[in-house]
Structure formats: C-alpha cells, structure tokens
Amino acid sequence: MDALMDRLSGLLGRRVVSLRRMAGGDLSVVYELALSDGARAVAKHGNGAAREGAMLRAIAATGVPAPAVLAVDDVWLVMEKLPADGALPAAWDDLAHQLNRLHAPAEEPYGWSHDHSLGSVAMPNRRAEDWPGFWAEHRLRCHIPHLDTGLGVRVGRLADRLGDHVPRSPSASLLHGDLWGGNVLVSGPRVSGLIDPACYFGDREVDAAMLTLFDHPPASFFDALALAPGWRERLPVYRLWPLLVHLRLFGPAYAAAVDADLRRLGA
C-alpha cells in the first residue's frame, strides 16, 4: 500500500496519507483517498483511465454534474469525491432535468473519437452517419462471435432488420452510455454526479432504456424526458446492448432477460 500511496501522491502532487478500498467496482478497483490537506478523492484503476477522464470532462462541459478529474495516467484516474448521502428514488426529477441537459442535440456523427470497453467486453465506437447501421454493427453484431450459435443467429436476424425498429437519423446526443442507478450519485433530492461513463453520441433513448434494466423510473421521469413517440417499443432494442454485455461478463443469469427482449422484438 505504501508504494501505491507514493504513486498516487506523485500523480496528484499532494500527499496521500491513507486509502480505503471502496465497495462496488465490479469491473475495476476503486479507492477512497485521504489527502494531507484534509481533502478526499477517489482513485480508480483501469486500462481506460485516460478515456474515462475525457468522458467525465465531456459530461461536465454540458453543465451536468460529474466528478472533476484531478489527475490521470495510463492506469489511474483520480477524481474529486462527491457527496452521495441520498438515494435515486428521491432524485428522479432532477435526473430527468440533468439528462435533458446532457442530451441536448449535438452536431456530431454517431459514435465517439475512440473505442472503449466495459471490463473485457470491447465497445466499438467508430463514427457513423447511419444510426441503425451503427447500432446493428457496434452494439449487436459485435457480440455474435461470443454467443452460442442459436442466440447469435437471433441477434444477427434482429441486426439485419434493425431499421424496422429504430429511427434512421435521431438527433445525436451525448450519452452517458452505462447509465444505471449505481452510476448516479445522489445527495438529498439532487444528482451530485454521474460516474463511470462510457460516452458516445447517439439516440438519447439509449440512456433511458438502460435505466429500466435494474431500476424502476416512475412515469413522471419519462414524461419529463419527452421522448419521441414509440419509445416504449424501442426500449428492448437499446436494452439488449447492456444485457448482452452482462451475459458475457457475468454468465447465464442474464440469458432469460436477453431471450425475453429478443422475443419482444420478434427475434
């Protein structure tokens, strides 16, 4: 631990006097740091540290709360520690407000300036002008080599006719990209920060869909987002990406949910 504290001290330019392993972090190691000036910070280890730091800065640039990046190198991202004394059910209204800000239309092609990953699962982000083509190639077909044959055939069948399910050219919005309750920090009734992003530009319904995977947003949350007509029918399309990621990372516990959404889509 002394060597790690020395490394992080050098990176920060401030002495780390203690560190504590934080709960969570299924795909990475995260520590809370106590600094010599009394401040606290969070250090996250991972090969995508620099990429994640750039994504946090992109979110913050929209005016949406995200932890400030204090230091970053090839494997360590050090961020400010934000208050997290609340729970998401108290902050759905504020989260809708923040997402409306984050999702403002952008003059950008779909995708991102670089690829990313969620644990060992690659997240291709090559820029594209065709939204169904982007989603089919980079969020569905990319999984097929890693699935059993039957499931792969079903995913491929859906990808082949994705234009029947999603709009051709929705407004490009900056997406958080991995938006579930665990990545929304809450203090009182307000969102204090969005963390662990996997950003790219795409249909804003992607973030809304992922929030239905583990969480239960109230109707008022979706009303405040004012999504395009037909959004409920598109939820399974966009929810398949995180479901397939979880199936690959964590195993067959997610197989039934994948099957259910494919059935909803006729695949």
**Rounded to whole angstroms, how far apart are CA atoms 109 and 70?**
29
> Which CATH number covers residue 210?
3.90.1200.10
pLDDT at 25: 57
- Are 100 and 179 part of one and the same domain? yes
Number of domains in the chain: 2
- Are 56 and 102 part of one and the same domain? no
- Are 105 and 142 part of one and the same domain? yes
- Are 50 and 129 part of one and the same domain? no
Exposure on the CB side of residue 61, measured as CA atoms within 13 A: 9
Q: What is the DSSP string of 82-114?
A: PP--S-GGG-HHHHHHHHHHHT---S--BB-SS
> Which CATH number covers residue 18?
3.30.200.20
Residue ending a domain, among 61, 80, 99, is 80
Residue ending a domain, among 64, 80, 96, is 80
Is 115 an annotated catalytic residue?
A: no
pLDDT digit string (tens) for 10-20?
999 999 999 99
**Rounded to whole angstroms, how far apart are CA atoms 34 and 97?**
32
- Are 96 and 171 part of one and the same domain? yes
Average pLDDT score over residue span 39-59: 95
Contact 194, 59 (CB under 8 A): yes
- Are 201 and 183 part of one and the same domain? yes
> Bridge-partner residues for 174, per DSSP?
201
pLDDT at 2: 84
Its domain, for residue 40, covers 2-80
Whether 102 has a pLDDT exceeding 60, the answer reads: yes
Whether 27 has a pLDDT exceeding 80, the answer reads: no
Average pLDDT score over residue span 240-247: 98
- Are 25 and 76 part of one and the same domain? yes
The first and second tokens of residue 155, run together, are 């995913």
pLDDT digit string (tens) for 54-88?
999 999 999 999 999 999 999 999 999 999 999 99
Whether 216 has a pLDDT exceeding 90, the answer reads: yes
Alpha helices by DSSP H, listed for the chain, are: 2-12, 49-61, 92-102, 131-135, 149-160, 205-214, 219-225, 231-250, 255-264
With both helix axes pointing from N to C terminus, report the angle between 231-250 and 255-264 in degrees, rounded to the nearest 10: 150
- Are 227 and 114 part of one and the same domain? yes
Average pLDDT score over residue span 252-264: 97
- Are 57 and 136 part of one and the same domain? no
pLDDT at 23: 78
Exactly one of 74, 115, 178, 215 is catalytic; name it: 178
Contact 136, 155 (CB under 8 A): no
> Bridge-partner residues for 18, per DSSP?
34
Whether 24 has a pLDDT exceeding 90, the answer reads: no
- Are 102 and 76 part of one and the same domain? no
pLDDT at 80: 97
- Are 31 and 114 part of one and the same domain? no
pLDDT digit string (tens) for 104-139?
999 999 999 999 999 999 999 999 999 999 999 999
- Are 8 and 72 part of one and the same domain? yes
Residue ending a domain, among 80, 96, 112, is 80
pLDDT at 28: 79
